[in-house]
Structure 1
Amino acid sequence: MTAAPAPRRISLCADDYGMSEGVNRAIRDLIGKGRLSATSVMVVGPAFTRNEIDDLKAVARDRPGFSIGLHLTLTAPYHPLTLHFRPQKHGEFLKLGKLLQTALLRRLDVEIFRAEIVAQIEAFTTMLGRAPDYVDGHQHAQLFPQVRDAFLSAVKEHAPNAWVRQCGRGGEKPRPVKDAKALMLDVLSVAFRERATRAGLRFNPAFAGAYKFSKKPDFGKLFERFLHRLPDGGLIMCHPGFVDATLVALDPLTDQRRAEYDWLMSDDFPRMLAANNVTLA
């Protein structure tokens, strides 16, 4: 007889609250059904408004322990909050690839990035009336060289009780790398964890949820893979949403957001958690 899997508690976080009203509404639906542990808020998104935040706070109020964090955003097509932010192009942050390239060449001004990160923490704190429970990064930019130094310094000073997201995979044994993105996140997360530890900041022990969105795979099968070997306390990110005009204008990830939402709202999701002896933190 096969032994039952050991019990685990994991966090399931929906990123991108504030990107569009359709994304916001889908995330609130899932919170109301108890299908999420947390959501990360983009303060530079067009749907980061008083009404949208009030609606988020209202639904989260009925879910004790639900976490709301800052989804630090430093890539196009979004605009910086600070007046003298550099580098930028046509008033926007750099695109992801260009930011990574510039960071790897150590050509960023750490203090300029720190000022922008502080501004986003303060915007979150002002709108929600409290500091973020945690801070992560849109497109994982918080892991990049130089950016991570600015990021950890700003969080340490302005949200010292928050934990931060690292994006390395967990598990007792090394797992095969199926794509370059997972490998890059593993590598970048090593230095990030070392610096976070030195700064005295807490972070998640393991991470899952990255995949090639453009291929539109079966999200249920992907989620089962995410659960495999994810240790107790691990974090899975997700990106549920309803497609609206704002989302289409801002982000290439559209229909797959609805696929994630539909599966997370389905009965298959709690059945999979139960079969794996997993509960949401």
Structure 2
Amino acid sequence: MSQNAPLRRIWLCADDYGMAPGVNRAIRDLIKLKRINATSVMVVGPAIDRTEVDSLKQELANNPDCALGLHATLTAPFHPLTMHFRPLDGGRFLSVGNTLQATLLRRFDREMVQAELLAQIMAFKELFGRAPDYVDGHQHVQLFPQIRDVFIAVVKANAPQAWVRQCGRPLPVKQRLGNPKALLLDILSETFRKRCNTAGVAYNPGFAGAYDMVRGGDFAAAMTGFLQGLPDQGLVMCHPGFVDETLLSLDDVIDQREREFGFLSGDDFPRLLSASNATLSRS
């Protein structure tokens, strides 16, 4: 790569703040180290009390370049904020697979989805005293049919300066075929971007970070791949965390969160950014 090429500014976003105390602590540590520059808050999570919010605010005050977003959540094992949201499974949102299926079958009611997304934005504003810098979706639910149009409309009306996350990769078609999960996100994101363009809602120009976290693997190698071809202001999602009882009760992505934290907090990550001509800078 030419030494004269301008640095690519990327967003490295840690999802799931509010899911568990160990996840929160890992994210705050990375903000303090300036190894991430965005985090998405799950306002329906069990670890989003006043202490956890104030601790995050303190780290953000010390690192004002770090963006703060809402991690809109409409899938299990979490519960809705609104009373009448349907369909549910035992009082909880449906699993991500069942949610996608239900949206394809058009089983969701627009007004119920709208009310729940609005409640989550309002909860974010109450907790942090301002609108989110951006809004994304837990398990990429913002991309799903039925939900995407409501999501875009609610964000535009209630957080008009916010951008939203699309999850399409800037790769040639042949290079997309080896990762079925990422390929599905590519397909869903194509329609999502068109709807955002029509609505005048901004979104990230590129995306990376989808891989098999349950099976785990070498996160350094994965991050190297994520940075290849990512455009300026593209976004990489990550899921650092420390394992605790709350996380064990909620999620099947466990040890890989600690592996992600270990790489992002270590010495090899800044070297990879430099070698990739990338920076975690807004400007």
* Fold-level similarity (TM above 0.5): yes
> Which residue type is aligned with residue 162 of structure 2?
A
- In 2, the alpha carbon distance for the partners of 1:194 and 1:164 equals 13
Q: How does 1:214-229 map to 2 (within 5 A)?
A: 214-229=214-229
Give how far 1:176 is off.
Answer: 3.3
Aligned CA RMSD, in angstroms, stands at 1.1
Aligned length: 279
Unaligned runs of 5+ in 2: none
- SS of the residue corresponding to residue 11 of structure 2 reads strand
Corresponding position of 2:249: 249
Aligned pairs for 1:186-201 (under 5 A) are 186-201=186-201
Q: Which amino acid is the alignment partner of residue 62 of structure 1?
A: N
Q: Which residue of structure 1 lines up, in the alignment, with residue 170 of structure 2?
A: 170
Amino acid at match of 1:37: N
Secondary structure of the 1:93 match is coil
Whole-angstrom distance in 1 between the partners of 2:181 and 2:4: 29
Q: How does 1:62-73 map to 2 (within 5 A)?
A: 62-73=62-73
SS at match of 1:15: strand
State the TM-score, normalizing by the size of structure 2. 0.96
Does the 8 Å contact 1:41/1:70 carry over to 2?
A: yes
1:79 is matched with: 79
Q: Which runs of 4+ in 1 moved over 6 A?
A: none
SS at match of 2:214: helix
5+ residue gaps, structure 1: none
**Deviations along 1:197-246, whole A, 9 cap, x unmatched?**
11111000010001001221100000000001111110000000000000
Could you say which residue in structure 1 is the equivalent of 2:233?
233
Within 1, Cα distance between the matches of 2:163 and 2:203? 5
Aligned residue in 1 for 2:279: 279
Could you tell me the percent identity over the aligned residues? 58
Compute the displacement of 1:65 (Å).
2.1
Q: State the secondary structure of the residue aligned to 1:243.
A: coil
Contact preservation (8 Å) 1:110, 1:149:
no
Give how far 1:178 is off: 1.4
Counterpart code for 1:165: R
The alpha carbon displacement at 1:64 in A equals 2.1
From the superposition, tell whether residues 3 and 158 of structure 1 become closer, same or farther in structure 2 (CA, over 3 Å).
closer
* Rounded Cα–Cα distance in structure 1 between residues aligned with 2:179 and 2:244: 30
Alignment of 1:1-281 (within 5 A): 3-4=2-3, 6=5, 7-171=7-171, 173-174=172-173, 175-281=175-281
Q: Do the aligned residues in 2 keep the contact of 1:26 with 1:240 (CA within 8 Å)? A: yes
Q: Is the 1:5–1:276 Cα contact (8 Å) retained in structure 2?
A: no
Alpha carbons 2:176, 2:183 under 8 Å: kept: no
Matched to 1:248, the amino acid is L
- 1:7-57 deviation per Cα after TM superposition (whole angstroms, max 9, x unaligned): 211010000000001000000000000001100000000001111011001
The C-alpha deviation readout for 1:61-96, integer Å capped at 9, x for no partner, is 111221100000000110000000000011000011
8 Å CA contact 1:177–1:183 kept in 2: the answer is yes
Q: Give yes or no for contact 2:176–2:182 (8 Å, CA) kept in 1.
A: no
CA shift for structure 1 position 5: 7.9
* Structure 2 Cα separation of the partners of residues 150 and 120 of structure 1: 13
**Following the alignment from structure 1 to structure 2, what is the Cα–Cα distance between the partners of residues 154 and 137?**
13
1:179 shift after superposition: 1.6
